[in-house]
Structure 1
Amino acid sequence: MLSLLLSAMLAMQAMAVMEVTVPEQPVVALHGRDALLNCSFSHANPINLSDLSIFWQLTDTKRSVHSFWGGQDQLVDQAESFANRTSVFHSQLGLGNASLLLSRVAVADEGSYTCFVRVQDYGSAALLLQVAAPYSKPVVTLTPESNLRPGDNVTLTCVAYGGYPQAGVIWQDGSGRNLTDNIATSPVANEEGLFTMTSTLTVVLEPNSTYSCRLINPLLGDEGYAFVTITGQNIGFPPVALWVTIGLAVCLLVLLIALAAVCRRKIKESCEEARREAEEAKELEEGESKTAMTPLKS
């Protein structure tokens, strides 16, 4: 029934054309929210709703989205995916407002919609509906996370969830240098069509380095930002340098012990020599005293 009515309307358009107006720019709707598809028409005479017919359909597949004629909604031919999600503004139809309210927008709703209007004249116009969903705040992780050494290759991973459409990813270092040429980005869609964006960057590790990941939604224009800073505390001692340091410490300790032993021996020898000299001096003094006390013979 609907297809016959639309065919008749299209055939009559060559004879009489009504001006139907829709937005020139795409309509951007948030996933899970309601979207208003504006459509208006002009008519010189007062409109009797029983004489008004409005048909919304998908432009490419011709599937019925919503129909109104005979003074009431006609939803028998409505595509199943739009059931209980569409409505027109009955109180404003006589004022030339044929807009469609689409509830709980899904990614699958994205596409071109055509608004057909007939009173006595006929007209139609098509608009583009685009769906957008903001991504979660991105998170940056390191692989490996420990035992890092300067000069190692480290993989940085940036992940954000639940967005649409695919986001652009920009990597930068601490000085603002763009590293995007060295990344690999993989979007994976869930059952709702929303994406998980995973981007990886491999760098040669340097101490005290900062790397940032910026996510850009092309429809919403919003940005998610995350960064990681690798400080000297995160970087382990290279094994070779560690063993060299331990060896030098052991050698220094042995040297100090040997030096202490030598010093002790030298001090001991010095003390003994001083004691011997003191004893010899004492003996010499006692000998001189005895000589002085012996009487002279006549």
Structure 2
Amino acid sequence: MASLGQIVFWSMTILIILFSAIIILVLALTFTRQSPEVTSFNISPVGNISQDVLLSCILLQKNDQEQITRVSVTWEKKGQQGFVYQYKNGHPEFSDQNEAFQGRAELFPSLLAEGNASLLLRNVRMTDEGLYTCSIDSSNGGGKINIQLRAAAYTTPTFTFSEGTLDAQASRWFPEPNVTWYNHVHKVLEARTSLFQNSAGIFSVASMLQPINRSEVYTFQIGNKLVTAVSQAKVGDFDVSVRTYYTFSTASPSPASTSLLILILIYCICCLI
């Protein structure tokens, strides 16, 4: 039977190895996700369905004062034939563009000389979800970066107060959202909530809370696995004052990343045997 000292020793050893594996995984993801010369402000953006989304792709120039005199940019989507967008020889190339992106994808030519190859994707669709790759080749360097676009629908809730009832309405949410009301001490409150789904799969939300105390702040939270809206509503004498902010989830690890973590853990366990 192992002594207490041996148990503590092996417990600490396992923890150290696990933390080391996590650090290795983070470093592996960092270096496989992008090249040293190309970066993005957001590698896992959430596009609002029927709205526009910006996929950022920036070339880190060796000399910020030097103008880029030659640049070619290619945007591709994993699993699709043809390009999302291609720019070379000083103008866009549409001959091999995937028809799903025709008229919806564009760059900002005036910003290319500064290393900005960000893609504006208009009228986001559910089918736009996926892994995009931005590749840059220029007179001042180049590289590529992967961006995981996720599609959701979300709108800011609106509030009305009538006859002791505070009503919250949100017209467009996808995937299916969850709704929770809180009082000023963050206690969950009971409310009547209804969800309605249209033919496109988009949900509208109607929720009613009562009774209501004037001048007290109530929190209405609506969200799904991708995006959450938190609204703080205060009922006044004549209207409802509201403040809303959004939070967005980070992208889930890819299957390859998950496999890498499993292999590292198996290796660590084997080392202990």
Cα offset for 1:21? 0.8
Q: Which residue of structure 2 aligns with residue 118 of structure 1?
A: 137
How many angstroms apart in 2 are the aligned matches of 1:36 and 1:216?
24
Greater RCO, 1 or 2 (C-alpha within 8 Å, sep 6+)? 2
CA distance in 2, matches of 1:159, 1:35: 24
Please give the secondary structure, in 2, of the residue aligned with 1:96.
coil
Which amino acid is 1:190 matched to? S
Amino acid of the residue matched to residue 170 of structure 1?
Answer: T
- Provide the aligned C-alpha RMSD in A: 4.4
Kindly state the Cα deviation for residue 223 of structure 1 after the two structures are TM-superposed: 3.9
SS in 2 for 1:64: coil
The equivalent of 2:147 in structure 1 is 127
Q: Matched residues in 2 for 1:198 and 1:61: separation? A: 38
Corresponding residue for 1:40?
58
1:29-66 deviation per Cα after TM superposition (whole angstroms, max 9, x unaligned): 444333222211134475333xx221112245465211
User: Which of 199, 204, 213 is matched with 1:190 structurally?
Assistant: 199
**1:35-114 superposed matches below 5 A:** 35-44=53-62, 46-49=67-70, 52-59=71-78, 61=80, 64-114=83-133
More helix by share: 1
Contact 1:138-1:224 within 8 A present in 2 as well? no
Residue among 171, 174, 180 paired with 1:164: 174
Q: Structure 2: give runs of 5+ residues left out of the alignment.
A: 1-34, 161-167, 213-217, 234-273
Which 5+ residue runs of structure 1 have no aligned equivalent?
1-16, 140-157, 201-208, 226-298
SS of residue in 2 equivalent to 1:216: strand
Does the Cα contact within 8 Å between 1:136 and 1:163 map onto a contact in 2? no
User: Taking structure 1 as reference, are residues 37 and 176 closer, same or farther at Cα in structure 2, changes over 3 Å only?
Assistant: closer
Q: CA deviation at 1:183?
A: 9.2
For residue 123 of structure 1, what is the amino acid of its counterpart?
G
- Counterparts of 1:95 and 1:176, CA distance in 2: 48
Separation in structure 2 between the aligned mates of residue 64 and residue 101 of structure 1, nearest angstrom: 14
| 1:183-224 CA distance string (max 9 Å, x none) | 998673532x42235889xxxxxxxx7499945135252449
Amino acid paired to 2:98 = A
Instruction: Give the length in aligned residue pairs.
Output: 185
Whole-angstrom CA distance in 2 between matches of 1:199 and 1:78:
44
SS at match of 1:91: helix
Distance 1:137 1:184 in 2: 14
8 Å contact from structure 1 (residues 135, 163) kept in 2: no
How many angstroms apart in 1 are the aligned matches of 2:186 and 2:112?
A: 55
**Alignment partners' CA distance in 2, 1:80 and 1:223:** 39
- Amino acid of the structure 2 residue aligned with 1:195: F
**Which of the two has greater strand per residue?**
2
1:127 is displaced (CA, Å) by 2.2
Identity %: 26
CA contact under 8 A between 1:135 and 1:164: conserved in structure 2? no
Cα contact 2:219–2:230 (8 A) shared by 1: no
The 3-state SS of whatever aligns with 2:87 is strand
Look up the equivalent residue of 2:37 and give its one-letter code.
E
